[in-house]
Amino acid sequence: MKIVVLLSVTTIFVVSCLATLAYASDPSPLQDFCVAVKDEDAAVFVNGKVCKNPDMVVAEDFFFPGLNKPGNTSNLVGSRVTPVNVNQIPGLNTLGISAVRIDYAPNGLNPPHTHPRATEILFVMEGTLYVGFVTSNPADLALKNKLFTKYLYPGDVFVFPEGLIHFQFNVGKTNAVAFAGLSSQNPGVITIANAVFGLDPPINPAVLTKAFQVEKNVIDYLQAQFWTNID
């Protein structure tokens, strides 16, 4: 009897794990659309967005104007991301897709960052970009993370796998423009430097000096900088 129960529990656990893996990204819609209600108007909070009454849905719920307009790159890193996700187009709710426009000044950088919920496919419209992504920690502790890089020109496409740290750098002498599609209605962004050094409250310097193997004055300097997001 104990063996049967143990097998049943094990089976339930395995099935649950497989089910979790099967739905690890955005869930598929169960109707034609599920236009999102603004968070401040929602009576409850769910994983995603509450659906708007279908009878109240209009064409504007699926529309976003102005992606032809360049973003303001007058910031410390010289780039600007214009997002088009479920917060801009409520009709993207449950559809598992979003987009961005990225503008780069000469020497502009979209700093190392990650999208925890999406794979990104980048298309270069103008300029020359040096792009790359870093693999996750290898199972063999003797090995190092691997960097994949490429120089991209107008018409080129590059893919950044879900959750991996990646970047784009304008190596040209003119402005650059790229568009990207992402496999989530709300991909999320974690900019590495901002997340480590620009927090409020800050991470205890003792943690960072140990992690980066540097003196405390280096950490103090980095934490004192003005860290800004570009999207």
| Residue closest to 50 by CA, chosen among 38, 58, 33 | 38
- 40 annotated ligand-binding residue: no
Alpha-carbon distance of 98 to 84, in angstroms, equals: 6
Name residue 21's amino acid. Answer: L
Q: Is 38 in a helix, a strand, or coil?
A: coil
- 126 annotated ligand-binding residue: no
- 217 annotated ligand-binding residue: no
Burial of 20 per CB tally in 10 Å (0-12, 13-18, 19+): exposed
Residue 104 parent element (H or E): strand 98-104
Q: Please give the annotated binding residues for oxalate, written as ranges.
A: 110, 115, 120
Q: Please give the annotated binding residues, written as ranges.
A: 110, 113, 115, 120, 166
Q: Please give the annotated binding residues for Mn(2+), written as ranges.
A: 113, 115, 120, 166
